[in-house]
Amino acid sequence: MPKQPIKRPVVALDTSNQLGLFALEAGSGVAEKTVSKPKGVQFKDPDPRSILLNGVRLDEHLIRTGETSALKVRQLLQQQCWLEFEAAYRPGGRPAYAPRAMVGLILYGIMRGITSLRDLEQFARVDLGCMWVSGGILPDHSILGRFIQRHADYLSEDFFISLTRQVLRVTGSDTHTVSGDGTVIEAAASRYRVVKEEALKQAVEQAQQAVAEAPQDEKRGQRLEQLQAAEQMLQARKAAKQAKGKNADGMQITAVEPEAVIQPLKDKKSFAPSYKPSVLANAVRVIVAQAVDASSETQVVAGMLEQAKAQGKVEAALFDSGYHCKGVLEATGEREIELLCPEGQSQGGSWNKQSEKYYPKSRFHYDAQQDSYRCPQGQDLTRLSEYKGSERYPGYVQYGTAACETCEQRGGCTKSVQGRRIKRYAEDAAKQVLRDKMEKPEVRERYLKRQGMVEPVFSQLKCRQGLRRFRRRGLKAVRCEFALHAMAYNLSRAMALWAWAISFIFRGLLFALTSGVRQGKVRIFLGCFCKPMPGNIQPVLVRL
């Protein structure tokens, strides 16, 4: 359907009665200015310095009340290049809101936990900090939605990298060591509207019949296309699952959002249409890479490493045991990045994979010279057969022994009548090297920093920014939404590090002065700032 023109009246912040009061800076008495851009494009870019509260300039009021985060956010955004946004507009017509003001409004709202477009519309009208960041623009919720849709691709990738690079400079942090993790976020589709294959086929037949009765009805045609797309998606997932030798009967899908996968949520008790967003965070918990996949956390690792490399050199990557797989090994190996990833839980003496039923494969030690495995009971498993592999299944070499027949521990090892069989794949050699490295105490000490680097990121995204459920439908829209959350989080993180550094300096000076320390000792005390500090806050102090 063609886009309908917006007929609602445009609301603007009235500063006409304040111009006579404001004369603090030259040229600052202009209520609203239009900035000429290449190709004759003009934008509404209001100056927030013209906003007064009882004769007091807005930024002065924010400083007096301690709400200075809006000032820092606007300053960071002013340092960004907005030509890519502006290139999407054409000359003529009413000037559009400046992209810097629109992005500032959206990100500042998400920082405050406002994610609904209608709530953002109201937020722009009542929040003083938002007025300073956006310049006092008052866009309609539909204008906000169309802005996000127009720039979805650029916001999801290139602008995220550009803004994150700026945050890294402000915080003085780097990408040398990154920590990765993912989570499950429920999709906008209702869990109560999922259907199985039989019900979906019936719905498609009913929609086809409805279209035949009224072929001119656009809504019926759109409904049929939606159902057919869901049917194709379900068949593709069913074929992929069957190719892995798994039972695909009873698979479900939601017609309104077929790209979302019915999978268990974090509570492991309920299933719902959802997506899996993932992040890479650095030592000061700045998100340096982000991605969203329908159902996998490991398939996006290569892309996230490329995002992180676009902002600096990546030397080491830390992941939990869920990433101990061929894809992650290859992604880090190809980029010459050190991988720290245990095979099992990083608790207790052994970090290898554990099982209460049978001896895991990690308990069988491979001898490269003899080309055999040694089982926990001391028996050798020799080469029995070899499978060269196919397009669907990877190749492997199978090992076994006849000693299983008389072994007393056979019940805890296998139930097969042939005895225990071990399959060695091409990536098993790299896994063994990683397994041996993770046994070293110094490596384990480095790895234990992973949880503190990345786990709090999702806590803030969910609890502070309200990312417990996506509001937009479709994988492309969800990726853009998560990128906005990641950028808002990075701005919040920069503000937090800046505030912590100021507080650290203030407390240090206050301690030195109130302790009656001589001037020479004061200099010695301030010299302590050159030493490592909690949270790697030293680079922030240098930039202050």
The one-letter amino acid at 482: F
Total of domains in the chain? 3
Is the domain of 122 the same as that of 68? yes
Is the domain of 106 the same as that of 230? no
Cα separation, 509 vs 437, in Å, equals 45
Is the domain of 15 the same as that of 92? yes
Per-residue pLDDT at 355: 66
Is the domain of 99 the same as that of 227? no
Report if residue 522 sits inside a domain: no
> What secondary structure does DSSP assign to 14-66, as a single string?
--GGGTTT--SSTTTT-S--EEE-GGG-EEE---GGG-EETTEEHHHHHHHTT
Is the domain of 195 the same as that of 247? yes
Whether residue 188 contacts residue 470, with contact meaning beta carbons closer than 8 Å, is answered with yes
User: If DSSP codes are grouped into helix, strand and coil, which group holds residue 170?
Assistant: helix
Per-residue pLDDT at 238: 86
Is the domain of 122 the same as that of 38? yes
Cα separations in angstroms, 482 against 80, 86, 276, 279, 325: 20, 23, 10, 10, 25
Per-residue pLDDT at 19: 44
Residues of the chain with pLDDT under 70: 1-10, 14-39, 347-349, 355-356, 501-544
Report if residue 528 sits inside a domain: no
CB within 8 Å of 180: residues ≥ 6 apart: 278, 279, 280, 281, 301, 304, 317, 318, 319, 323, 454
Is the domain of 144 the same as that of 195? no
Per-residue pLDDT at 247: 81
Per-residue pLDDT at 530: 44
Report if residue 304 sits inside a domain: no
Per-residue pLDDT at 29: 37
Report if residue 379 sits inside a domain: yes
Domain boundary (411, 433, 455) is at 433
Per-residue pLDDT at 26: 38
Report if residue 463 sits inside a domain: no
Per-residue pLDDT at 57: 93
Domain boundary (150, 180, 204) is at 150
Is the domain of 71 the same as that of 141? yes
Which residues lie across from 195 on neighbouring strands?
Answer: 253
Per-residue pLDDT at 510: 58
Per-residue pLDDT at 174: 93
pTM here is: 0.85
Torsion of CA 212, 215, 217, 218, to 10 degrees: 110
Is the domain of 23 the same as that of 119? yes
What are the helix (H) ranges across 254-393? 301-309, 326-334
Is the domain of 137 the same as that of 209? no
Per-residue pLDDT at 37: 56
Q: How far is CA 446 from the centre of its chain?
A: 23
Is the domain of 211 the same as that of 123? no
Report if residue 18 sits inside a domain: yes
Is the domain of 139 the same as that of 240? no
> What secondary structure does DSSP assign to 182-239, as a single string?
E--EE-SS-GGGEEEHHHHHHHHHHHHHHHHH-TT-HHHHHHHHHHHHHHHHHHHHHH
Report if residue 182 sits inside a domain: no
Residue 231, domain extent: 191-256
Of the candidates 257, 267, 272, 275, the residue with the CA atom closest to the CA atom of residue 185: 275
Structure tokens at 25: 């800076």
Per-residue pLDDT at 125: 95
Report if residue 267 sits inside a domain: no
Per-residue pLDDT at 239: 86
Cα separation, 365 vs 360, in Å, equals 11
Domain boundary (408, 433, 458) is at 433
Rg over alpha carbons for the chain, rounded to the nearest Å, is 29
Per-residue pLDDT at 27: 38
- Phi, psi angles (nearest 5°) of residue 318: -115, 125
User: If DSSP codes are grouped into helix, strand and coil, which group holds residue 293?
Assistant: strand
